[in-house]
Structure 1
Amino acid sequence: MMELAMALEACGKHFIWVVRPPAPQVEILSHKSVSAFLSHCGWNSVLESLSNGVPLVGWPLAAEQFYNVKLLEEHIGVCLEVARGKSCEVRQEDIVKKIMLVMDETEKGNAMRRKAREVRDMILDAVQYENDHKGSSVKAMDEFLDAASLMREGNKWAADRGV
């Protein structure tokens, strides 16, 4: 924690440090001045960040977070891993270097922000339900509910007939 604190101070960037909830994470991430999110990369945090077009600096701690960081960094291009696990040794200089790489006008930082905006647009399109347009998530939910309804009707039909 001390290395992270010193790194945040050394990089000269403004930051909000939330160690324990509750914090209005979605509100913070939706603010136009947020340019990166240091996160453990749990899936809810990933979705909240990318729904707002904010690239991530990943520090996975447990469970699926390690896979999420790998997916986000190597396949989608919206994350840069800064450390791995609870007991890893992290040096201030390494954290500063990665924060600056993401937040400054570097080729990598610009590419990550562009990709994060592209992912945001895909997410927004997937949940859109306007006029005759239904996004892919809305369509999938409709199909799921239709299937559940048919299954329920089928089970009721079978129960009524003693099947």
Structure 2
Amino acid sequence: MTVEPSLVADLIARATALGITIATAESCTGGMVAAALTDVAGSSAVLDCGFVTYSNDAKMKMLGVSATTLDACGAVSEEVAKEMAQGALLQAGTVLAVSITGIAGPGGSQFKPEGRVCFGLAQKDQPPRFETVEFGALGRDRVRAASRDHALNLLQQAVSKIERELST
């Protein structure tokens, strides 16, 4: 599956015009959001960096995710997604950061099924947002692609909100 290049190009163009910089913090997508952004010429004006933090140790070392949060909630949780996004924002010093942590499959459990993906969105000087999407057992490739697309949509929404705020 591929993301629609014109949508990503639009995101890059709008973010560039506003001076918005972005960081990504990815687990189950392994850098797919950063890759989708860098597929577009001119993305260097927007994408500062991407953190691929597949292991819990990497989440703690690179993004400052709390061991207490990981122990209490598990890596696939809104709490960890929130801390990942906040950590990426802090480490990169960007305007926006998006995070993804989930179970792409195969596998999962009764409590954390395949296709459960948690997202975080951090914005400078704003409270973080986080949410869980249950994509279902679509298969690893499709869950990862859907997660990438959802994260890009979250970035689109954040840029649109900033545009609206600046126009009022």
After TM superposition, the score normalised by the length of structure 2 is: 0.33
Higher relative contact order (CA 8 A, sep 6+): 2
Which has the larger share of strand? 2
Larger radius of gyration: 1
After TM superposition, the score normalised by the length of structure 1 is: 0.34
